[in-house]
Amino acid sequence: MVSSIIYSANEIILNEKGETEDFLILDVNPEFERVSGKKASEIIGKKASELCPEFFSANPQFIQICGELAIQGGEKRLERYFEPFRGWYSIQIFQTLSQHFVTIFTDISQERLIAENAELLLNQAGDDFDFQLLCDRALELAGAKYVSFNVFEENGKEFRTVAVSGINKHIQKAINILGFDLNNKQWAEDPQRMEKIQQNALTRFEKLADLTGDRIKPSIIELLCDTFQVGETFVLTIKKGERHLGDFTLMMEKGRTLQNESLLKIFVRQIGLAMDRSAALQKFYKSTRILNETSKIARLGAWEVDLQKNEHFWSEITMEIFEVDENFKPDMSMALRFYPEGEVREHITAFLEAAIENGESYDAELPIITAKGNKKWIRTTGQAEFIKGKCRRIFGTIKDISARKKNELELIEKKELLANITENMTDMVSLADLKGNYTYIANVHTDLGYEKNDLLGKNVLDYVHT
């Protein structure tokens, strides 16, 4: 977008104290005349404050800046909304002669609008997507009389009118003529409409009826256009790749044509990106909610270390397992301190190092001591993600297995106790499972010439003689 240059040559006016109180306009170029709507003869020789009282009242420092540059030399660039030109301008100011300076105005209104639209759309996501605000913005940019905003279903066929902009009382009257409310109106697939608009980012229709076809009775459309003086109609499509996400129907007042076509095309591209991002975020949030709910049911915690950003993440369940409060900020050294010193800490350290250096995953059962001093057993897993041969992150799961581990340890203790008792008895003691296979043989069996390993796993009936 190339903007025309607006130029003025100026001389500062000093008061008795030698301070700049105003400046005279000595010369302007034709573009200055065109944009201001005044002839050069009406501008040259006039004080700036007389020509633009509102601007200088709102920006008193502007005259001071011009005075400093005209006296001391140098150059400065400002961005201001310049009321006389009805737009945003980049204003370049520099000295030419002592007490003289030049101002060069460059229109940046469109750039500002693009930036504002981008900021607006960055804040749009999920259920908070403000369709009405976007529809109003399209109305403003296009200079249209009425605008409707349609959003397509994921299949790209059915669509819904999510917002309508224009004069409210006219819209209400149009609803009465149509016999249905346009807002949130669900439309079935319309192959003819799609065929008319799908090839172009912007499609012009001489009459609204050329777009609607037989979808709405032509007599009703004609009545609407006559009642509200609707002339040309444009459809501005919103796409992501080849996928049709939505469109704006821009209805112009008779005798008026579309404004800011290039800016509108940029706007809908931005909307397409935002809508695609919003859909992706909704899917992500949904999958995250499902994962979180599943993790809570399974009592399975998650952890992650982003090695590139040096960021650590612990899920809610992980924090519960380690009994830390919600303000706890994990880091690698802090996490390792939950593992008892010595062999256990050496094991987990070795697992992490092997994952980072060699991409080796691990699955281990280890004891920990929580932030509250409680002893627990956990099952911890970890794996690494490499990008271009470098480990970027490690992540895994944590599960509290204290109850299972307690049962296992108690069972081992009972088995050891039983073994100690039976090994010191003179009776022949043996245990068998439900199938009759030996699971335990006391040492005394060797007195009969049997080896314990020969009997274990064998069936009792093989050694019982009848």
Question: Is the Cβ–Cβ distance between 236 and 138 less than 8 Å?
Answer: yes
Residue range 241-267, pLDDT digits in tens:
778 888 999 999 998 989 888 888 888
How many whole angstroms separate alpha carbon 257 and alpha carbon 144? 8
Residue 448 structure tokens: 């009969």
CA 165-168-173 angle, 5° bins? 110
Closest by CA position to 249, among listed 205, 195, 216: 205
**Contacts by residues 430-438 (CB-CB < 8 Å, ≥ 24 positions apart):** 430/455, 430/460, 432/460, 435/459, 436/460, 436/461
How many whole angstroms separate alpha carbon 129 and alpha carbon 134? 9
DSSP state of 437: B
**pLDDT for the residue numbered 261:** 85
**pLDDT for the residue numbered 2:** 46
For 200-232, give the DSSP string: -SEEEESSHHHHHTTSS-HHHHHHHHHHHTEEE
Question: pLDDT tens digits, the chain, 466 residues: what are they?
Answer: 445 788 899 999 999 888 898 999 999 999 898 888 889 999 999 898 888 888 888 888 888 999 999 999 988 888 888 877 778 888 899 998 999 999 998 888 777 776 666 566 655 554 456 788 888 888 988 889 999 999 888 777 889 898 899 888 888 888 888 888 888 888 988 889 898 988 888 999 999 999 998 888 889 989 989 999 999 999 999 887 778 888 999 999 998 989 888 888 888 887 877 776 666 555 555 555 545 555 565 678 888 998 988 888 888 889 999 999 988 888 888 899 999 999 999 999 999 999 999 999 999 999 999 999 999 999 999 999 888 889 998 988 888 988 888 877 777 776 666 666 556 655 566 666 777 786 766 665 565 666 767 777 777 777 665 5
Q: Which domains does the chain have, with CATH numbers?
A: 5-107 (3.30.450.20), 113-281 (3.30.450.40), 299-404 (3.30.450.20), 425-466 (no CATH)
Q: Could you tell me the maximum CA-CA distance found in the chain, to the nearest angstrom? A: 135
Backbone angles phi, psi at 446, to 5 degrees: -65, -20
**pLDDT for the residue numbered 263:** 80
